[in-house]
Amino acid sequence: MLRIISYNVNGIRSAISKGFIEWLAAEQPDVVCLQETKAMPEDVPMLELEALGYVHHWHSAEKKGYSGVATFSKKRPDKVSTGCGIAAYDREGRILRTDFGDWTLLNCYFPSGTTGDVRQNFKMQFLDDFFAWAGELKRERPRLIIVGDYNIAHQEIDIHDPKGNKKSSGFLPEERAWMSKWFESGFIDAFRYANPEKVEYSWWSFRAGSRGKNKGWRIDYQSVTDNLAPHIVSARQLNEVVHSDHCPVLLEIDL
């Protein structure tokens, strides 16, 4: 059984200062996909991470201290590629692909639209382009797992205040419609598949003690191709882990 963790660390150096490496040593997932690393590999104490038995691959943003993804795995991937071939996104370090045998893992950090119209439009364009690109990849690599921070809460069950947030970026009707289209296009929401009625969140605003009151959003997802759904063992949010404004999300899958 494979244990895959996806985690928006909101700055890996910040997370390390709050005990991330000690937590990883105790947790020992087979693969950990990090988003919003905000660092280059040379900025990070890699020897400590390598000592835990991980090989690591990075796709950092060109802009320092911004965005970026990294994948640590116990097994060396057969193939690693960065980006999707669209410069506007690839400059921001948003997509990292690793192939292991007959299955492929994508570690993704979708854009946020919370800073205004320009970035919201960028986000919507990314969603359309990603949909097309992932569809092409699925034809080539039909066993796909796509984890990461999607920056969208899909359904009312995935957000603490659906009525109050219906005009908030991350819960806009057009974003939610995209998620529905995505999950109708040959992908399964692993958490919702394993837990149809469960309320769990993966992100909380730093404002107003949101995490303590569990006023959160579920915006970190594990999408698996339909053909992998029967192999899902469990999927959950590791709510007790606190190095970031997100918590890690765990997928256990028998491949």
Task: Show me where the domains of the chain are located.
Answer: 2-253
Counting Cα atoms < 13 Å in the Cβ hemisphere of 157 gives: 8
Q: What share of the chain is helix, strand, coil (3-state, %, to 5)?
A: 30, 30, 40
Mean pLDDT, range 51-74, rounded to an integer: 97
Under DSSP, is residue 60 helix (H, G, I), strand (E, B) or coil? coil
Given this model, what pLDDT does residue 247 score? 98
Pairwise CA distance, residues 102 & 245, whole Å: 34
Give the CATH fold of the 2-253 domain: Deoxyribonuclease I; Chain A (3.60.10)
Model confidence pLDDT, tens digit, residues 149-206:
999 999 999 999 999 999 999 999 999 999 999 999 999 999 999 999 999 999 999 9
Q: 235, 191 in Cβ contact below 8 A?
A: yes
Q: What average pLDDT score do residues 115-139 get?
A: 98
Confidence band for 24, pLDDT divided at 50, 70 and 90: very high
CA-based R_g, the chain, Å = 17
Report the chain's mean pLDDT, rounded to a whole number. 97
Say what the pLDDT of residue 63 is. Answer: 96
Q: Which string of DSSP letters, residue by residue, matches 15-49?
A: HHHTTHHHHHHHH--SEEEEE---S-GGGS-HHHH
For the segment 218-236, the average pLDDT, to the nearest whole number, is 98
User: What number is the average pLDDT over the span 110-123?
Assistant: 97
Q: Which residues are catalytic?
A: 149
The tokens 């911004």 sit on which residue? 66
How far apart, in Å, are the Cα atoms of 151 and each of 111, 123, 232?
7, 9, 23
Task: Examine the pLDDT at 208 and tell me if it is beyond 90.
Answer: no
